Structure 1
Amino acid sequence: MNTITRLVVYTIISVTFATTHAQEKAVDSLKKTSVYYKIETLEALKTKIEKEEREFLKQEIESINDRLDAKQISAAEAEDLKKHAAEKRAANIENRLAIVDNKIELLKRNESVYASDDDESFVIRIGGDEDLGDEFIYLGKKNRVHKPRKYDRRTTSDIVFAFGLNNALIEGEGLDDSPYKIGGSGFMELGYAWKTRIFQNTNFWRLKYGFSFQWNKLDIKDNQYFVNTDGDVTLQEFPVELNKAKFRTTNLVFPVHLEFGPSKKIEKEDYFRYSTRNKFKIGVGGYAGLNIGSMQKLKYKEDGNRIKNKQRGGYEVNEFVYGLSSYLAWGDTALYVKYDLNPLFKNQAFDQNNISVGLRFDMD
C-alpha cells in the first residue's frame, strides 16, 4: 500500500470515527435532555397536586356547609365530615407525591428508558364508586384529574330542538280560510336552555330559560305571492303558474318557562340530584327577541326555463318578536305550542299572527 493510499484510508477512518462519536454524543445529549425535561415536569406536577387537593377540599367543605344550612345534617355531623375530608385530602397528597417521587427516581436510574412522552404506565384510580365519580391521577402526557362531584347541582342545561306545523291566524278569518297550506307550512327551533330549581328543598318548580333560533315558514297557496306596495303588504296573483311560493322568517328569541311536575330525588353519601327522567312535566311561559331575516322563495317556469327567485327583506316584518309558548312533556319529549303576540307584518289593515304546533325535544 503506497503512501497516498494509506493517507486516504486513514482519512476515511478518522472521519468515520469522528462522525460516529459526534452522533453518539448528540443522541446521549438528546436522551439526557428528555430525561431532565421529564423530571422538571414531574417536579412541577407536585405543586399542582397540592393545589388541586386543597381546591377539592374547599369544594367538599362548601358542600358540607350547604347540607348544614339546609338542615340535612347536624353541626356535629358537619364537623366529622369536614375532619374526614381533610384527612382524606392529606392522605391523597401524601400518596400522590410518593407516586411522583417514585417516577422521578425511576427516571434517574434508567435515564431514557421511561422518558417517552407516550408513557402511560402510571395510571392510578382513587376511589371506585361509580355513583360518586372517579378521580384519576394521570402521570403521562395529559396529567388529568377528574374533580369530585358537586354536592347539589341546582342548574342543568339542555339542547332544545323542535319542529312541526306552522300557520298564521288572520284577523276576521279562520284556519279553513287561510291562504297558507297547512301541510306545507312548518317551523323549526334550535336552541340552548338552562333549568334552575327555584326552591331549596323541592324540585317541583323549575325555571327554564335560554336562547333559540326559530324558523317559521308559510307555504302560500292559490298561485299567490307577497307584494309590498308602498308599505302595504298583500297577497296577489302571480303572472305565471307558480310551482312553489314560500315565505320564511328567522327569529332570535329568549324563551322563559315556568316548569313544574314531579321528580325523583337521588341521594348518595357525597351528593344528591333530582331527576325528571320518565316524569310528567308542564312548561308555561313566553319568549321575546328579534327578527333577523325574512325571505320569499318563488319557483316557476318562464319561456321553458326553470326559475328560482329568492327575495330577502323588504316585507315590513316586525323587528321585535314576542309571544306565548307552552309544552306538555313526558321525559325529554313534549307537545309544543307557540303563538306570536306581535303581528307578522307591521302597520297593516289586517293583523296576522304566527302560530306553531309540534314536538319539542330537550336533550341533555
Structure 2
Amino acid sequence: MHTIIKHVTVLILLCCGLQLYAQDTIKNPEKDKAIHSLESLKESIRAEERDALRIEVKTVNERVLHKEISYKEAEHLKEAAAIKRALNIENRIRITENRMEYFERNKTDTISFEDSKNMFSVTIGAGEKGLKIKGKSKPIKYDIRTGNQFLFAIGLNNAIIEGQDFSDSPYKVGGSGFVELGWLWNTRLFKHTNFARIKYGLSLQWNKYEIKDNNYFEDNDKVTTLEDFSYNLKKAKFRTTSLVIPVHFEFGPSQKIEKKDRIRYINNDTFKIGLGGFAGANIGTIQKLKYEENGDAIKHKTKRDFNTNTFIYGLSGYIGYDDFSVYIKYNLSETFKNQEVKQNNISLGLRLDLD
C-alpha cells in the first residue's frame, strides 16, 4: 500500500512539473517578444525627441532670419532645447526600464505603460498578445499659414435677362433661391501680417428658379424656351447643380497671438471683405412640375441638360463681420446655350464661414 501511494505521489508531482515546464516554454517566447518590443519603443523615443529638436532648431533659425530675435538669443534657445530633449530621452527611457523591471519582478501577464508621448499595452500568455501604441503627439508648429473652413451660403436667386428689367423677370423672387456648401482653405499671403489672405476650395452650388405665369421650360431643337403649360401649374421649378472651385482674396484685420513656442492669427470679431470668383461644371439639371389632371395631383420630374452650359464661371464677393457675410455671385457664363436672348444667373444671400 505504501509503495502504491509513493508511486502515485511521484506521478502527480511529475505531471505538475511537466505542466509548469510546458507553460514556461509557451510564455517565455511571448515575454521575449514583449521585451524586444519595449526595446524598440526606447529607440523610437530617441528618434521622436531628435525629430522634435530639429523642428525647434529650424523654428529658432527662422526667427533669426525674420529678425524677431538676435543671434545670441537664438543660441541660448537652441542650447535650452537640446538640454530639454536630452532630459526627455533620459526620463522617458528610465520610466520605460522601471516599468519593465516592475512587471518582470511581479511576474504579471500584462505589461502596460503610458507617458506623454505614447500609450502601449503588452499582453503575455493567454488571451490577446501583442504591442499596442497610440496617441503619438506631434511637436507644436511655430506658425500655421493655412487653415480650413466649412462654407454654407443661402439666399435669393434670379436672372439678369438681356433687354428686360429685373421687375419683368419670369421667375418669382421669393420662390427662387440658392444654396452653397463647400470646404475651403485660407492661406495668409504675407509672413508677418494676416491682413491679406487667399481663400480657395471646392463647393456645390444649387441655383433654383420658380417659374411664373404657368410657364415651363421646353427644349425646342437645341433651343430652350419658356412655353405655356396645357394645365394649371401649381408649381414649376427649375434647378441646376454645379461643382465649382471658388477663389477669393480676403482682406481684413486680425489679432496676433504670440507665445514662446508659437504665433497664431485670429480673425474672430473682425470685419472682412472678399473679392474673387468661381469656375466649374454643371453636373445636373432638373425641372419639377406640379399640376392637376382630371382631379389627380401629378408631380412630374424631368432630368436632362435643357441645353444648359456645362462649363460655368463667374464673379463673387462678400463683406461681413466674424463668421457671417453678405454674399453676392454673378454667372458670367450664360445659363443656356444657343439663346437669342442672353440670361445670366445672379444670387444674393448670407454666407457662413466656420473654422
Query: Partner residue of 1:264?
Result: 255
**Residue 139 of structure 1 pairs with residue 120 of structure 2:** yes
Query: Partner residue of 1:323?
Result: 314
The residue identity in structure 2 corresponding to 1:138 is: M
What CA distance in whole angstroms lies between the structure 1 residues aligned with 2:314 and 2:285?
Answer: 18
Aligned partners of 2:118 and 2:133 also within 8 Å: no
Are residues 215 and 30 of structure 1, via their aligned partners in 2, closer, same or farther at CA, if it must alter by over 3 Å?
farther
What CA distance in whole angstroms lies between the structure 1 residues aligned with 2:29 and 2:341?
Answer: 80
What CA distance in whole angstroms lies between the structure 1 residues aligned with 2:28 and 2:318?
Answer: 66
Aligned partners of 1:157 and 1:193 also within 8 Å: yes
Query: Partner residue of 1:182?
Result: 173
Shift of 1:110: 2.6
Query: Partner residue of 1:232?
Result: 223
TM-score, length-normalised on structure 1?
0.85
Match of 2:240 among 246, 249, 272: 249
Q: Which runs of 5+ in 1 are unaligned?
A: 1-13, 126-135
Shift of 1:191: 1.1
What CA distance in whole angstroms lies between the structure 2 residues aligned with 1:159 and 1:32?
Answer: 54
Secondary structure of 2:226's aligned partner: strand
Structure 1 runs of 4+ aligned residues shifted over 6 Å read 20-27
What CA distance in whole angstroms lies between the structure 2 residues aligned with 1:81 and 1:205?
Answer: 31
Query: Partner residue of 1:300?
Result: 291
Shift of 1:213: 1.0
Shift of 1:58: 1.5
Shift of 1:26: 7.3
**Residue 99 of structure 1 pairs with residue 95 of structure 2:** yes
Are residues 111 and 310 of structure 1, via their aligned partners in 2, closer, same or farther at CA, if it must alter by over 3 Å?
farther
The residue identity in structure 2 corresponding to 1:344 is: T
Instruction: Report the count of equivalent residues.
Output: 337
What CA distance in whole angstroms lies between the structure 2 residues aligned with 1:77 and 1:176?
Answer: 68
Are residues 360 and 24 of structure 1, via their aligned partners in 2, closer, same or farther at CA, if it must alter by over 3 Å?
farther
Shift of 1:101: 1.4
Aligned partners of 1:32 and 1:112 also within 8 Å: no
Aligned partners of 2:284 and 2:305 also within 8 Å: no
Match of 1:211 among 202, 210, 220: 202
TM-score, length-normalised on structure 2?
0.87
What CA distance in whole angstroms lies between the structure 2 residues aligned with 1:329 and 1:29?
Answer: 72
- Map of 1:31-110 to 2, 5 A cutoff? 32=28, 34-110=30-106
Shift of 1:230: 0.6
**Residue 278 of structure 1 pairs with residue 269 of structure 2:** yes
Query: Partner residue of 2:5?
Result: none
Shift of 1:150: 0.7
RMSD: 2.5
The residue identity in structure 2 corresponding to 1:302 is: E
The residue identity in structure 2 corresponding to 1:181 is: K
What CA distance in whole angstroms lies between the structure 2 residues aligned with 1:163 and 1:22?
Answer: 77
Secondary structure of 2:107's aligned partner: helix
Shift of 1:280: 0.7
Aligned partners of 2:237 and 2:288 also within 8 Å: yes
Query: Any idea what the Cα deviations from partners look like across 1:172-228, whole Å, max 9, x if unmatched?
Result: 222221111111111111111111111121111111111111111111122111001
Secondary structure of 2:170's aligned partner: coil
